[in-house]
Structure 1
Amino acid sequence: MSDPEARVSEQERDRVVELVQRAYADGRLGAADLERWLERALGATTSRELEPVVADLPGDPDDVVHITTTGGRVTRTGDWHVPRRLRIDSEYGRVRLDLSSAHVPHPRIDIELRLGYGGATIILPAGASANADGVRTDWGKVTCKAAGRQIPGRLHVHVTGELPYGRLTIRTARR
């Protein structure tokens, strides 16, 4: 679990400011709201103060991306935009999510996997952390080779879901 009293890095604060500005550009915040939200983001000194700014943003279009397939593969690699929450449902398919070169504008992302017989591999950028304690498997296996504790200013991936017969591997990118 991350330390809510940890000081916020400039990079983490800049990501939140970018999200607030995008909400304004999308018309989800008015001018007065923009000023108030930026003030909250720029004034935050700890993770506890910064996290609610992102969580409270109205109607984020990146809120949940839901991908469904029956037996096909789900692959995301290279320079792709990672949403704050990603849900993947597949009965027989395999999933490969490579975040090492992706655009990740959020300090934390949530991935929910619902894979009947398929497996998943999640590749994190160097320095990122992951928690897969919320993944349930019956006959499968969950392997997480990344740091489990969130590191302030670094990406943290929280993985949940069900893989009754599947296998999940989380690792950092090879150099």
Structure 2
Amino acid sequence: MRVSDADRERTAQRLQQAFTEGRLTHLELEDRLEIALTAKTYADLRGLVTDLPVEQVDEVIDLESKSGNIKRSGDWGVPRRLRAASKYGSVELDFSQAVIPHQVVEVELDLAYGSAKIILPEGAAANVDSFRSEWGRADSDVPGRPRPGALYVVIKGHAKYGGLTVRYPRRRRFTH
């Protein structure tokens, strides 16, 4: 998948921080920055930071909205536990390009009139057995049991008038 200018900038900042901490030499920083600023895909960027420590992410994050939507996507830090509450809006959590330092992530949803969509990286699994909806349903297109070495997301909570969808990223088709 192609990267944005913001993705390139975040990677460049991470490289500069690593240089400041003494983890990269000046020459390594210059080489990696040149690649980062001209990267076209996420794979290009990931290769630049795989030997650097994972950024510290909070253990628990609460996301709340009364009437707006909650959305997280791109390069974001995923905590061990994530609680999202929205009275009139929807929740979309895209884990496909996120920094996830934990093998198991717990997501708790509290929705009144909105639905939730969770997008997982290829190969990840999700347990939706503890999610309840009064007027919707929980649809999961991903495996429900943990797999060795793969992300496992446990989703619980409820929605009064909305549902839950869990899937992998859509594959884009290009036509000429």
Q: TM-score range by the shorter chain?
A: 0.5 to 0.7
**1:153 is the counterpart of 2:149:** yes
Q: CA deviation at 1:63?
A: 2.1
CA 1:61–1:128: 2 relative to 1, 3 Å: closer
Structure 1 runs, 4 residues or longer, greater than 6 Å off? none
Cα RMSD for the two superposed structures: 1.3
Residue in 2 aligned with 1:101? 97
* TM-score normalized with structure 1 length: 0.64
Residue in 2 aligned with 1:6? none
Q: Distance in 1 between matches of 2:78 and 2:59?
A: 11
Question: Larger radius of gyration, structure 1 or 2?
Answer: 2
1:150 partner letter = P
Q: CA deviation at 1:79?
A: 0.4
* TM-score normalized with structure 2 length: 0.64
1:115 partner letter = L
1:154 partner letter = A
1:74 partner letter = I
Q: What is the 5 A alignment of 1:78-93?
A: 78-93=74-89
**Structure 2: 5+ residue stretches without partners:** 1-55, 172-176
Residue in 1 aligned with 2:131? 135
2:163 partner letter = R
Give the alignment partner of residue 75 of structure 1, picking from 71, 80, 96. 71
Q: Secondary structure at the match of 1:66?
A: strand
2:123 partner letter = G
Q: Secondary structure at the match of 1:79?
A: coil
Q: Distance in 2 between matches of 1:61 and 1:123?
A: 20
Q: CA deviation at 1:155?
A: 0.1
Q: CA deviation at 1:64?
A: 1.3
Give the alignment partner of residue 118 of structure 1, picking from 111, 114, 118. 114
1:86 partner letter = L
**Structure 1: 5+ residue stretches without partners:** 1-59
Number of aligned residue pairs: 116
Indicate the structure whose relative CO is greater, using CA pairs within 8 Å and at least 6 residues apart: 1
